[in-house]
Chains A and B, each alone.
Chain A
């Protein structure tokens, strides 16, 4: 039974004690983060003090929200459905437009850098513009109504879905693409047989996620006159009818929850 002891002794002699690396960098990182937070707070005068002084105000607002004015439900049901319909149209069209652009952007499929780089630039530009600004622009161009809101969501969804999808395409397994090249497939066939089966679940998942975001966004688009529930929300807030605003918020919550539940089921089926 002596052998194991001597073995471990020899091992120890051969390998001197390892000193774990010091965590200076990690500590420094935390310090920098805290310093940045404090600096931002001081520069913008956004401090916890305001939170404390504002809390009573918040309490009275919440009190005014309850009980919600349930009778208002019948008035908002129509506009709420319009909001969901705007979101469905906007997300679908934006998602369809995103497919070719995502294929152009993906560096592993790109015909040349002179195509993929400009395509990415355009994508970045579109994502810089907030959805409310899009809505305001389209209201100015196409007039007040749901069409402007829908168009805003097309651009907004297009930006998100194209960006996420092209990144998913870049991460796919290159093996099947090589196999399709080897069987003599042309570019479209390569995409259909090598890329689509791998990227489709991700695309669908992003589409559903964007739809969820869009329902919430569509609820706000009405603020600039782009149709949907936002107009009523704006009116309720303007008239200090917080009991009505709370009904709108609760209904939006219910719809978002239903969509979330549905999309979770669909996503699980796809992956």
Chain B
């Protein structure tokens, strides 16, 4: 399959690049993927698509359309029923134990409810992204090497909250907590970031700050980013590619320019409502 991918000739110079990983386009491939929940609900229906390195894909659709299932199947927080998903050429679907953990290590995840360890410091939360790189004993004792601490501070710097490193996570505002979780993904040296409704519990202003952070990281560090959003205008503004899901099926796959109001009406099965727009600029 001939795929155009962003030129990454300066890849060695980028920070956070793990030298052990294979060089080349880092792709996420969905091959005839379906998911049916035990209660009969269809999560995904025959998905075939490839997400290329460096893309910023926004998944849109009504709630229940399968956006979360799509995202969570990439790092197998949700198992799929049939088909196969490959990340960087490795089958997520057939991976087991340590193989799966190694694949997951390359995939950072950002959640709507941040999922930080609230009673721990920001630093410990960011360092927790490093556990996949060290022995169990070492991480249990909390002996992270100095490089990890530096890496974590750099990650916090990138999302502009370096000065909060030694504050307890629950002392931060929602937007700051979400940035800590972005920093965790960066410290993880993830090559993909999955963000499941990352701004749904934030106010419009912090929403833009967090989206700007994600966009900047995507562009500057060439980290493939897949985001579930329900704000249509945000999707158009930040995405390089929009995928529309309806009842578990891909009903739209194109550039933001192609995602007109008519296209969204098609995805949603009805005209766009006012509360699906964040508004402002």
Contacts and interface: CB of A to CB of B under 8 A. Distances in A.
A182 B107 contact: yes
- Name the residue among A181, A183, A185, A189 with the largest chain B CB count within 10 angstroms: A183
Contact of A175 (B105, B111, B136): B111
Contacts of B107: 182
Contacts of A173: 118
Interface string B102-127: 11110111010111111110001000
B51 interface: no
Interface stretch (A16-24, A190-198, A210-218, A227-235): A190-198
Q: Is the interface of A mostly helix, strand, loop or mixed?
A: helix
Contacts of B111: 175, 178-179
B128 A183 contact: yes
Contacts, number: 75
Interface string A167-210: 00000010110111111111011001110011001000000000
B80 to A, nearest CB: 16
A: interface residue count bin: 20 to 34
Contacts of A179: 109, 111, 115-116, 128, 181, 184
A184 B101 contact: yes
Contact of A183 (B104, B118, B119, B136): B104
Contacts of A178: 77, 111, 115
Interface of A: 173, 175-176, 178-186, 188-189, 192-194, 197-198, 201
Contacts of B109: 179, 182-183
Nearest to A175: B115
A197 B139 contact: no
A179 B98 CA distance: 17
A185 B100 CA distance: 10
Nearest to A182: B109
Ranked 5 nearest A-B pairs via Cβ: A184-B132, A175-B115, A184-B105, A184-B104, A179-B115
Contacts of A183: 104-105, 108-109, 128-129, 131-132, 184, 188
B75 interface: yes
13 contacts: A175-B113, A176-B115, A176-B116, A181-B77, A182-B109, A183-B132, A184-B188, A185-B101, A185-B128, A185-B131, A189-B136, A193-B120, A193-B139
